[in-house]
Amino acid sequence: GQNIDQPTEMTATEGAIVQINCTYQTSGFNGLFWYQQHAGEAPTFLSYNVLDGLEEKGRFSSFLSRSKGYSYLLLKELQMKDSASYLCAVRDSNYQLIWGAGTKLIIKP
Amino acid sequence: IAGITQAPTSQILAAGRRMTLRCTQDMRHNAMYWYRQDLGLGLRLIHYSNTAGTTGKGEVPDGYSVSRANTDDFPLTLASAVPSQTSVYFCASSEGQDTDTQYFGPGTRLTVL
């Protein structure tokens, strides 16, 4: 079967750095996405990785290792508005997105 | 309209009733999708459409049907609602199927009693 694993919940302090991990086992791989979802709202796109390595976009970076079936999302200089769920999704061999259950990130002052 | 809209925002429905969730996008995207999101589970694909006039089944299609008569609209119908269909439903679209980012509507919260 296909599986995406993420921690259920993480807590971090305002101004700090947090890394959210995602491991996957899917039938084929055609890219990995990270989305942010605030409570009661729609998911919004953060990043896309298809090749190994680090993609940096402002305070957010995403890393991919295809050989290890592993990605992480790194959030720097945390702000209270970063409190949200972070969803990892992998596009499989049929070009369908397989979604993890999401990681709820709680930011404390 | 800017992006994707969904209607209604929320709905309480008696079991056995028929219900259509509406989704409209103004980005001229070719592909559209319906997902359900349940607590503790990832988004699950119900149905999708790669282009107007075509539809396909996702991971959890039973009890749902869709149509894609034009580029902009992608309604989702529950023919006879059951309590297990209580969920938050998201419509999404992307420019194409293969490599494009999916953009989501605001969601419909459906409760079936």
- B48/A97 CB distance under 8 A: no
Strand order in the sheet with B4-7: B4-7, B19-25, B76-78, B64-66
- Residues in A whose CB is inside 8 Å of some CB of B read 4, 30-31, 33, 41-45, 48, 50, 87, 89, 95-102
Kindly calculate the radius of gyration of chain A based on its CA atoms and give it in whole angstroms.
13
Residue carrying the six token digits 């993890």: A100
User: A56 CA to chain B: closest CA distance, Å?
Assistant: 17
Give the CA diameter of chain B: 39
What is the pairing mode between strands A18-25 and A70-75?
Answer: antiparallel
Residue A37 and residue A85: Cα distance in Å, rounded?
5
Q: With beta carbons less than 8 A apart as the criterion, state whether B75 and B66 touch.
A: yes
pLDDT computed for residue B100 by the predictor: 81
User: B17 CA to chain A: closest CA distance, Å?
Assistant: 26
Residue A80 and residue B67: Cα distance in Å, rounded?
41
- A97/B101 CB distance under 8 A: no
pLDDT digits (tens, 9 = 90+) for A51-85: 999 999 999 999 999 999 999 999 999 999 999 99
B102 touches chain A (CB under 8 A): yes
pLDDT computed for residue B99 by the predictor: 63
pLDDT digits (tens, 9 = 90+) for A14-25: 999 999 999 999
pLDDT computed for residue A109 by the predictor: 94
Q: Quick check: B2 pLDDT over 90?
A: no
- B90/A43 CB distance under 8 A: yes
Q: Quick check: B109 pLDDT over 70?
A: yes
Is B52 exposed, middle or buried (CB count within 10 Å of its CB: 0-12, 13-18, 19+)?
middle
Residue B71 and residue B73: Cα distance in Å, rounded?
6
Among A48, A45, A43, A47, CA closest to A31: A48
Residue A106 and residue A12: Cα distance in Å, rounded?
6
- A96/B45 CB distance under 8 A: yes
